[in-house]
Amino acid sequence: MHTPDIGSFIKDLRENAKISLRQLAEQAGVSNAYISQIERGLRKPSAEVLASIAGALRVSTPAMYLRAGLLGKEDTHGVIAAIAADPELTLAQKQSLTQIYETFRRENARDTDRDDAGAAESAVEEDYQ
Amino acid sequence: MHTPDIGSFIKDLRENAKISLRQLAEQAGVSNAYISQIERGLRKPSAEVLASIAGALRVSTPAMYLRAGLLGKEDTHGVIAAIAADPELTLAQKQSLTQIYETFRRENARDTDRDDAGAAESAVEEDYQ
DNA sequence: GCATATTGCTAACAAGAGTTAGCAGGGTCA
DNA sequence: TGACCCTGCTAACTCTTGTTAGCAATATGC
C-alpha cells in the first residue's frame, strides 16, 4: 500500500505521449533536470509539481495523487453515481457515459479472467437522473 | 487565486475540536512547532502533512486538499475524480472516459451559451467528512 | 507565597525539493 | 569531416520543509 514508483508511471505516460523530457518539463513549468530525477526515482515531487505534470500529461490530478499515494481510493465515490449526480450532463449523455464505462469494465473482466467479487455489480444499473 | 489561508482553517478546526497545538501535533505525527508555524501562515505544509492533519481533525483528505488549493472543485466532487479513482479501469480507459466527459461538457456549454447561469456555488463545502 | 504544567511561540539546525550550468552521446545536414 | 541540435543525465547550489531545544506567559495545585 505504498507508492509504487511514481517515477516510472510518469515516464511511461511521457513516452506514451511521445514527448521529450524537456518538452514535458516546459509544459509542466519545472526544470528538465528535475523531471529526469523524478522519473528515475531520485526525487519525490511535491503535490504542486505532481499536479502540473498531471496537467501536462492529460491525466487528472486525483489520478496522479492516487498513484503517488497522496489520496486513497476511499477518498472518491463510484463512477456511475458521480455521472448520475452530475448536473451538467444531459440524460442521454449520462446513458452514453455509463454504457462506455460498463463496456470498459466488461472488457477488463474478460481480459483478467479471474473473478473479483462483483460487489457493486448489480446494485447500480438504472439509476440515472 | 491562491491558497486562501489554510493556516487559519486548520486553527479554526483545532479550536473547534478544543485540543491544544501539541495534541494535534502528536495525533498528526508532526512537531508542535511546525503546527504553530502552519497555523500562523509562516510555513506551507506538504501534502503528506496536510493529509495527516486532516485525519487528526476528522476532515477528509480531499476536503483539506481543496482548501489548500491542491485540488480544484472540479477534481473533488465530480465524475473525473470518480473515474480517476476507479481501480477497475486501465489508464487508457480513464483518459478516454475523461475526454468523452469533457467533450460532453463543452458541447453543453456551447449550446447554452446565452447566459452564464450565475454559478450557484457555496463558499463552504462539507460534502466529505 | 513557590513549584510545576501547559499554553503558544522562536531560533537554529538538518533534510530534501527544485534550480542553473554543463556534461557525453547520438542524429542530421552541409 | 565538421558544426549543430537534441536526447538524457550529473554536479553544485539555493530555498523551503520539518526537526529539536528552549523561551516567556498563563494557569493550577500545594
Higher pLDDT, B1 or B122: B1
Higher pLDDT, A76 or B25: B25
Cell 511521445 belongs to A18
> Maximum distance among all alpha carbons in chain A?
50
CA B23, B28, B34, B40: dihedral to nearest 10 degrees? -80
* B30 CA from D19 C1′ (Å): 9
A51/B47 Cβ within 8 A: no
Q: What stretch of H or E contains B68?
A: helix B61-68
A126 by DSSP, 3-state: which?
Answer: coil
**pLDDT at position B19, please?**
92
E strand intervals along chain A: none
Q: Which nucleotides of strand C come closer than 7 angstroms to any CB of the protein?
A: 6-12, 16-22
Interval A59-69: pLDDT, tens: 889 889 989 99
Q: Mean pLDDT, chain B, as a whole number?
A: 78
The Cα A36–Cα A78 span in angstroms is: 35
**pLDDT at position A111, please?**
64
**What letter would DSSP give residue B32?**
H
Q: Which three cell numbers stand for residue A107?
A: 472488457
Q: Is the pLDDT of residue A27 over 80?
A: yes
The Cα A122–Cα B126 span in angstroms is: 29
| Segment 74-93 of chain B within 8 Å of chain A by CB | 75-91, 93
**pLDDT at position A50, please?**
96
Q: Is the pLDDT of residue A72 over 60?
A: yes
Is the CB of residue A31 inside 7 Å of nucleic acid strand C? yes
Quickly count: other Cβ atoms within 10 Å of residue A75's Cβ: 20
A15 by DSSP, 3-state: which?
Answer: helix
**pLDDT at position A65, please?**
92
Q: Please name which of A65, A69, A54 lies closest in space to residue A24, comparing C-alpha atoms.
A: A54
A60/B83 Cβ within 8 A: yes
Q: Is the pLDDT of residue B116 over 50?
A: no
Is the CB of residue B70 inside 7 Å of nucleic acid strand D? no
**pLDDT at position B4, please?**
53
The Cα B92–Cα B33 span in angstroms is: 44
A105/B100 Cβ within 8 A: no
Q: How much is the average pLDDT of B53-79?
A: 84
Is the CB of residue B48 inside 7 Å of nucleic acid strand D? yes
Q: Is the pLDDT of residue A96 over 90?
A: no
B44: CB partners within 8 A, 6+ apart: B3, B6, B38
Quickly count: other Cβ atoms within 10 Å of residue A19's Cβ: 16
**pLDDT at position B14, please?**
92
The Cα B110–Cα B100 span in angstroms is: 15
Q: Band of the pLDDT at B2, cuts 50, 70, 90?
A: very low
**pLDDT at position B3, please?**
42
Q: How much is the average pLDDT of B100-128?
A: 54
Is the CB of residue A23 inside 7 Å of nucleic acid strand D? yes
What residue ranges define each of the domains in chain A, with the CATH number in brackets? Answer: 6-74 (1.10.260.40), 77-129 (no CATH)
Is the CB of residue A128 inside 7 Å of nucleic acid strand C? no
Q: Which three cell numbers stand for residue A128?
A: 440515472
**Is any Cβ of chain A less than 8 angstroms from the Cβ of B97?**
yes
The Cα A77–Cα A73 span in angstroms is: 8
Interval B4-36: pLDDT, tens: 589 999 999 999 889 999 999 999 999 999 999
**Is any Cβ of chain B less than 8 angstroms from the Cβ of A124?**
no
A66/B85 Cβ within 8 A: yes
